[in-house]
Amino acid sequence: MYNNDNIAAPKVPFRGFRGSKVPFRGFRGFKIFCLLFSVAGVFIFSSCNKEEGQGGSSTIRGYVYNIVHRAGSLSVDTIPAAEEKVYIVYSDKVDDPIADKRVETNQNGMYQFQYLREGNYIVCAYSNYPEELNKKKVAEWKQVKVGSGTTYADAIYIHSGKGYGLSMIKGKVMVQYLNRDGAELGKPVTAVGQRVFLKRAEEDTVFDDVRASDQGVFVFDRVPPGKYKVYTITETPEFRNRERPFYYPGVNKEADAEVIDVAKPHELYELSEVIIIVINL
């Protein structure tokens, strides 16, 4: 790059002094020449400081991987994100960036942006949330400092799948049978097919319901972060064929029920106590 302070004045023939009888007529032209030379220097200087964007010979190359979260499982599969849209921002400012160009990855998850000037850029792809989180897409971005030639960006990892951003609540329900006198008939057994409900702690409506397996185990497998209460339906020793809500961990009043705080996604929250309901025979 050039600096005008270091540009020497041009050496032009100067014959108007030292006793010459020829009138000097070249000073005005000399001034114009210097002015044009200065403008050219400014132009050259500014051309060396072009902003990020198209018009150069540099390339950004990188890969996108898709982390697939499956419903009913905390395990994930990581695969190349084929035919995934990747965006570039001609800046390194991440505050509400606006994309300037878009490309798609190949079957191996590779993408590239060509003919860039040197500078700072942002590249990003989007994760897709499930419906339970009321979100559609979230940008997963990387900052890239581009020099001459090809610059390799850090890998971008996006997330997808019905289990993304969600957690699981797991428990077990058993049933204690009573005879007509209210005495227990043996030990509690697994409550096969028992319906179990999940509700948000501050709401009256049911968020989800499942049935217990043949082992009495129930799992809510698509739970967004929040606070919840678990309950099922039971009879009581005093009343035959009269059902009422029975909250975890074994209370008949919702006010005394334990709140399950699902604070983080992709976690298993397992109830520490077995729910035991009553059925009168």
**Hey, is 214 helix, strand or coil?**
coil
What DSSP character marks residue 184?
B
Q: Is the pLDDT of residue 159 over 50?
A: yes
Q: Is the pTM of this model over 0.85?
A: no
Query: Is the pLDDT assigned to residue 248 strictly greater than 60?
Result: yes
Asked if residues 222 and 208 have their Cβ atoms less than 8 Å apart, the reply is yes
State both tokens at 86.
């990747």
17-61 pLDDT, tens digit per residue, is 334 444 434 445 544 444 444 444 434 434 445 688 899 999 999
Q: Measure the CA angle with vertex 121, ends 117 and 126; round to 5°.
A: 135
Q: What whole-number distance in Å separates Cα of residue 136 and Cα of residue 31?
A: 64
Delineate the domains of the chain, giving CATH numbers in brackets: 54-160 (2.60.40.10), 167-280 (2.60.40.10)
Give the residue-averaged pLDDT of 195-221. 94
Report helix, strand or coil for 101: strand
- How far is the C-alpha of 91 from the C-alpha of 147, rounded, in Å? 14
What pLDDT, on the 0 to 100 scale, is given for residue 241? 61
Distance from C-alpha of 243 to C-alpha of 195, rounded to nearest angstrom = 13
Tell me the C-alpha distance between 222 and 146, whole Å: 41
Q: Where on the phi/psi map is residue 27: left (φ > 0), alpha (ψ -120 to 50), or beta?
A: alpha
Is the distance from CB of 198 to CB of 206 less than 8 angstroms? yes
